[in-house]
């Protein structure tokens, strides 16, 4: 998902800073390199614990230079044409695989569409583009990258909220801390939910008592549909440029080329 926080005008940002102390501000000074990370981490833990958050999953976290490097170069991943992007992220083999899932998972997809109003090809496009239908969800603990990005000044407030949310997920036992592993930006599961979005939109669709976006295909696809519905998806509406649901893609990913590619990928699956 990796949704990028929108910019705000200077006056609004200043007013917000004056009116409210964020978790990041309460924790300590953000930084632009790793030199202050250890001190920030200890300050964050003290603040979080005072707010009733169990920080034990953060034990041993280190400044992640890899995630900072990727964060600084995200724009490179979204260069080129839509067709070039599709060739990398949704090649013809993915379209064929998705068409196979349209048949093999038809019953599940119909139930999800009946409840949430999201077309099967849309869910399959997201699932395929995000993790290759669950094959590439990642195996890196979310806590180090989230702590690093929360400390980093570029989007400290945004990722402090995600770190808080990740710790809440572990503390409440929704997913064990050991299982909270992803591709490197703190995303969870087969369609890469940020922790705060897990808390808002994850659903237990298979009825086993857990909202499992790591192992349960039913939960993964239904939760993705719930996210889209929660952001204004119109049941059965079009999703290509100029159609009713095209704007909802922006709430999944802010990159224009990603939005166009998802819409085209879904269209190819359906046709």
Q: Which residues are catalytic?
A: 130
Length of the chain in residues, anyone?
271
The whole-angstrom separation of Cα 256 and Cα 60 is 37
> What would the two tokens of residue 176 be?
């064990």
Q: What are phi and psi of 181, to 5 degrees?
A: -130, 145
Residue 135, SS3 per DSSP: coil
Q: What are phi and psi of 261, to 5 degrees?
A: -70, -40
The whole-angstrom separation of Cα 76 and Cα 126 is 21
> What would the two tokens of residue 238 be?
């079009």
HSE-CB of 95 using CA atoms within 13 angstroms: 17
Phi-psi region of 36 (alpha: psi -120 to 50; beta: other; left: phi over 0): alpha
How far, CA to CA in Å, does 196 sit from each of 94, 165, 202?
Answer: 29, 5, 10
Other Cβ atoms within 10 Å of 5 Cβ, number: 12
How far, CA to CA in Å, does 106 sit from each of 75, 157, 159, 188, 218?
Answer: 36, 41, 37, 25, 12
Phi-psi region of 129 (alpha: psi -120 to 50; beta: other; left: phi over 0): alpha
Query: 201: Cβ–Cβ under 8 A, 6 or more apart, which residues?
Result: 193, 223, 226, 227, 230
């Amino acid at each position: 998902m990796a949704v990028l926080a929108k910019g705000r005008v200077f006056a609004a940002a200043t007013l917000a800073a004056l009116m409210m102390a964020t978790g990041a501000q309460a924790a300590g000074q953000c930084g632009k390199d790793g030199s202050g990370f250890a001190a920030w981490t200890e300050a964050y833990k003290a603040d979080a614990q005072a707010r009733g958050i169990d920080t034990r999953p953060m034990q041993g976290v280190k400044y992640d230079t890899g995630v900072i490097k990727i964060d600084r170069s995200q724009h490179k991943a979204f260069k080129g044409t839509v067709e070039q992007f599709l060739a990398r992220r949704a090649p013809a083999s993915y379209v064929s695989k998705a068409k196979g899932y349209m048949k093999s998972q038809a019953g599940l997809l119909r139930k999800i569409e009946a409840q949430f109003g999201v077309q099967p090809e849309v869910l399959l496009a997201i699932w395929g583009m995000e993790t290759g239908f669950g094959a590439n969800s990642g195996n890196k603990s979310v806590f180090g990258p989230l702590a690093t990005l929360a400390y980093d000044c570029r989007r400290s407030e945004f990722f402090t909220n995600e770190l808080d949310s990740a710790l809440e997920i572990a503390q409440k036992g929704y997913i064990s801390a050991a299982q909270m592993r992803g591709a490197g930006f703190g995303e969870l599961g087969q369609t890469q939910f940020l922790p705060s979005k897990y808390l808002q939109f994850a659903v237990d669709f298979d009825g086993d008592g857990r909202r499992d976006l790591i192992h349960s295909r039913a939960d993964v696809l239904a939760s993705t549909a719930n996210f889209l519905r929660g952001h204004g998806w119109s049941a059965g509406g079009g999703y290509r440029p100029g159609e009713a649901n095209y704007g909802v893609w922006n709430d999944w990913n802010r990159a224009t080329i990603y939005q166009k590619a998802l819409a085209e990928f879904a269209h190819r699956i359906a046709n």
